[in-house]
Amino acid sequence: MREVTVLGAGLHKYGVFPDKHYAAIATEACHRAFENSGVTWKDVDALYCGSVNLLPGCGHVVAMSLGTNGAAVTNVENASASGSSAFREAYMAIGSGLHDVVLALGVDKLRTAKSSPTEGKPEESSANAKPQWQFVPAQLFAQITRDHMAKYGTTIDQVAKVSVKSHRNASFNPYAHFQQPVTLEEVHQARMVAEPLTVLHCCPWDEGAAAVVLCAAEVAPRFTEKPCPKVIASVCKGTLGGDPLMDLTHVSALEAYEQAGVGPQDLDVVELHDAFTIEEIVYSEALGLCPWGEGGRFVDSGETEIDGRIPINTDGGLISMGHPLGPTGLGQIAELLWQLRGEAGKRQVKEPKMGLAHMVGAGGVCFIHILSL
């Protein structure tokens, strides 16, 4: 495999934009990625577009909006990990020697909820309408929270502190959906979703776009003089049996560390899947950032803060940055790139050299990528 580097990234702010077409959201992120990387659309050999809620062929619509350049376009869907999947496909295309410069894009819009066809009711028009199935994940992670508290003595304050940290980090991120800090009391007193998780323990349903430019390491100097981190591990694993979240993450992490020739102690910054606050706690354990059962105390220790030993979700994570599905995994890569380049502004980690991005999709697939200068 050829060495693959991350050349640049661009985002469209996460949020809800009912009057904005997804192609406009996506092209804005792409143009920012081009500016950040030094490439133009004409330099791009291929585009991989990750989305969940959009119609088939959405990547082709975005490509046409950017202009006809003959780039190969492939659309990718892998639940919450769709953006991570697009990134891996781009990495593989370059590493194999097929292409030199590839754009990985994630874009999504909220899906309008529909009534049951047997009820004969008109379609709901609200962008924030949620079908009943969307509440099932909250119930699942509420049970995981209760189980962790009962088994390891984790406290609801420790779980809530994940939300406090997330919102504080997001307050320094102009692309984040939620940019206001919250207090521990506000997290506890917010609307209950599934005991013991209030709404401030849960990620939003939103929209946005993230674009990342990758290239073969040997061609990077043609486009930029900025440091370009190498992708030293790219792992994708499907359901193994056992727990489809923690066990799958743990096995994927072990493979990623072996592939990269590093361990969790070598990481300087981590972006992990935290659609619910308890996920930061359990995935910290599964990734080997702290011992099993110690995730709550790990949060308490302050080691996961921006100025801590191993900062987690410096962009605000899914909880506060947002979780628009298609873009989410690529937004993590963008944050790692900017951290490693020292471009993260007020949320900048001190002199990071290596970062890890982790996403799961519907409990059936896990992606882990490690970037290093």
Tens of pLDDT along 136-185? 899 999 999 999 999 999 999 999 999 999 999 999 999 999 999 999 99
User: In this predicted structure, what is the pLDDT of residue 118?
Assistant: 33
CATH number of the domain at 42, please.
3.40.47.10
User: In this predicted structure, what is the pLDDT of residue 174?
Assistant: 98
Token pair for 262: 């590093």
Same domain, 285 and 311: yes
Same domain, 210 and 82: yes
User: In this predicted structure, what is the pLDDT of residue 120?
Assistant: 31
Residues paired with 21 in a beta bridge: none
User: In this predicted structure, what is the pLDDT of residue 112?
Assistant: 64
Residues paired with 366 in a beta bridge: 237, 360
Same domain, 16 and 106: yes
Secondary structure of the chain in the HEC alphabet?
Answer: CCCEEEEEEEEEEEECCCCCCHHHHHHHHHHHHHHHHCCCHHHCCEEEEECCCCCCCHHHHHHHHHCCCCCEEEEECECECHHHHHHHHHHHHHHCCCCCEEEEEEEECCCCCCCCHHHCCCCCCCCCCCCHHHHHHHHHHHHHHHHHHHHHCCCHHHHHHHHHHHHHHHCCCCCCCCCCCCCHHHHHHCCEEECCEEHHHECCCCEEEEEEEEEEHHHHHHCCCCCCCEEEEEEEEECCCCCCCHHHHHHHHHHHHHHHCCCHHHCCEEECCCCEHHHHHHHHHHCCCCCCCCHHHHHHHCCCCCCCCCCECCCCHHHHCCCCCCCHHHHHHHHHHHHHHCCCHHHCCCCCCEEEEEEEECCCEEEEEEEEC
Token pair for 170: 């997001």
Q: Is 131 within a domain? A: no
Region of 183 on the Ramachandran plot (φ > 0 left; ψ -120 to 50 alpha; else beta): beta
Q: Is 16 within a domain? A: yes
User: In this predicted structure, what is the pLDDT of residue 213?
Assistant: 98
Same domain, 209 and 279: no
Question: CA 11, 15, 21, 22 torsion: positive or negative?
Answer: positive
**What whole-number distance in Å separates Cα of residue 233 and Cα of residue 54?**
29
User: In this predicted structure, what is the pLDDT of residue 241?
Assistant: 79
Same domain, 259 and 218: no
Same domain, 264 and 216: no
Low-confidence residues of the chain: pLDDT under 70: 112-135, 363
Same domain, 237 and 345: yes
> pTM above 0.85?
yes
Q: Is 168 within a domain? A: no
User: In this predicted structure, what is the pLDDT of residue 135?
Assistant: 55
CA nearest 262: which of 373, 97, 96?
A: 373
Q: In terms of residue numbers, what domain contains 64?
A: 4-110+205-222
Token pair for 42: 């004409």
**What whole-number distance in Å separates Cα of residue 41 and Cα of residue 123?**
39
Same domain, 82 and 218: yes
Same domain, 361 and 214: no
User: In this predicted structure, what is the pLDDT of residue 243?
Assistant: 83
Domain count along the chain: 2
Question: What per-residue string of b and e applies to 141-174 under the rule 16 or more CB within 10 Å gives b?
Answer: bbebbbebbeebebebebbbbbbbbbbbbbbbbe
In the listed set 158, 189, 222, which residue is the last one of a domain according to the structure?
222
Same domain, 344 and 215: no
Q: Is 73 within a domain? A: yes
Q: Is 267 within a domain? A: yes
Same domain, 21 and 105: yes
Q: Is 290 within a domain? A: yes
Q: Is 158 within a domain? A: no
